[in-house]
Copies of this chain bind each other. A is one copy, B any other.
């Protein structure tokens, strides 16, 4: 049910919604086989309380997840949840550690929460596949940079140690009291061009594989100006054949909500008032790419 409202609000396409009920006949692996071949489906998001045939699921998921991200929200993780599941669908929720292993070995992205399932389903297929593990944070606020760094560790992302020459190149664009290194802290009073220059540099240097942007609301670079320049920078580089995953975290007055939506509608997962969700979406993309052997 949640997918209905969420997808409409998020303007996210939905190729199909299948409710399996108690899985007396068709189950998850049958559906994975179906959606593997469905050209309208870019990502498969699954909520389940058990897997009746774990071995069949693992086998099929391992193959399918190499082509399309498979995201699973496994309910009944805890003893109380398992008890509720058994009274709901008769599911034998089983040892959660085993599910965790099955999902990891199958290249499946495990969502921790319903909101994660929805956010990953929306964001993961939108991001281009990263070409390596080097993530760089570019932020207009040092405080965001710290929280974004924490979120990188939480989501198993690698902050690239900044090479000296690249550090120098970033420093050309930012005030002397800004911090280069990684995060690149351009500081909170910079005009749009500083954001654009640093984002373009981040996209063009081949040692960097993904960008996390932290935006800090100022009157010098208002939210929609930021959003549009990021999309422009992405488009400029795309025209040169360079595509990298970009996610963004926006802090500020309510206009950051509109700016986040603009970014999302233009292929850049962006969230207002959160440093963790955009990084989690990027982390899910990396988890998928690693599982699919693309990294």
Contacts and interface: CB of A to CB of B under 8 A. Distances in A.
B79 A146 contact: no
A9 B251 CA distance: 13
Interface in A64-81: 73, 75-81
A22 to B, nearest CB: 11
Contact of A253 (B8, B49, B87): B8
Nearest to A271: B115
A56 to B, nearest CB: 22
Nearest to A83: B149
Contacts of A276: 112-115
Nearest to A8: B254
Interface in A138-193: 141-143, 145-154, 159, 179, 181, 183, 185
A51 B161 CA distance: 27
A78 B143 contact: no
A269 to B, nearest CB: 15
Each complex incorporates copies of this chain amounting to: 2
B88 A49 contact: no
Interface string A99-118: 00000000000001111001
A80 B179 contact: no
A85 interface: yes
A12 B34 CA distance: 47
* Chain A interface size, under 10 / 10 to 19 / 20 to 34 / 35 or more: 35 or more
A251 B9 CA distance: 13
B150 A77 contact: yes
A27 interface: no
A2 B223 CA distance: 13
Interface string A29-53: 0000000000000000001010000
A111 to B, nearest CB: 10
Contacts of A159: 80
B277 A49 contact: no
Contact of A78 (B5, B88, B137, B153): B153
A154 B114 CA distance: 14
Contacts of A253: 4-5, 8
19 contacts: A1-B252, A2-B252, A4-B252, A5-B251, A5-B255, A5-B256, A8-B254, A73-B147, A75-B147, A75-B150, A80-B159, A81-B147, A84-B137, A84-B145, A84-B148, A88-B179, A113-B276, A114-B147, A115-B277
